[in-house]
Amino acid sequence: MTPAFELRPATPADAEALALGAVDGVADYLTFAPPGWTGPAYGPELEYTRVVLADPAYHCIVAEAGGRVVGQVTVVPAARAARPVEDSALGHLRNLYVDRSQWASGLAAALMRAALEDARARGFVQLRLFVAEGQARARRFYERQGWRAVSAPYFDPVPGLSMIEYRRAVG
């Protein structure tokens, strides 16, 4: 069966859709976040996205369906991510978001496979990611994909949530 989406590298023209995806992707965090928590605002997220898309170390893959971006995932060297680690064999996976219209379509797994292929091609041996402790749905997905928690929950002031670090071998 042919998937209803196409994966491709992100371009600067995708900045608005990527920023919107990042904002929408954390909208349900209000169900578990501490009182008063707010997610990223669209304007600053768009500005940040435009900057990082120009960085050759920032590999973002988008999924398109019906002419619009419906998913995204990014791989960067861990040294260039939040909580940097100087380890050339360690990549960092971030911003795996799938539009709700694509939930249960296989898109998240396809994006994960694409991220792993990108990481392998770049010589990373292992990937890490940070996920909100309260984001049970995402944590279950990552665990089904072979990721394992390697930290106890810890409070991260940015994004202002209890987080858990996960890792997975690339190969």
| Residue at token pair 């939040």 | 82
CA distance 163 to 152: 8
Position 22 in a domain: yes
Q: Determine the pLDDT at residue 165.
A: 98
Residue 89 placed within a domain: yes
Region of 50 on the Ramachandran plot (φ > 0 left; ψ -120 to 50 alpha; else beta): alpha
Q: What is the pLDDT of residue 103?
A: 83
Q: How many CA atoms lie within 13 A of 85 on its CB side?
A: 13
Domain hosting residue 85, numbered range:
6-169
How do the pLDDT tens digits run along the chain, 171 residues long?
456 899 999 999 999 999 999 999 999 999 999 999 999 999 999 999 999 999 999 999 999 999 999 999 999 999 999 899 999 999 999 999 999 888 888 899 999 999 999 999 999 999 999 999 999 999 999 999 999 999 999 999 989 999 999 999 998
Residue 74 belongs to a domain = yes
Task: Give the number of other CB atoms < 10 A from CB of residue 169.
Answer: 12
* Residue 1 belongs to some domain of the structure: no
Give the count of domains, the chain: 1
Q: Quick one: pLDDT at residue 154?
A: 96
Longest CA span, the chain: 45
Q: What is the pLDDT of residue 102?
A: 84
Question: What is the CATH number for 11?
Answer: 3.40.630.30
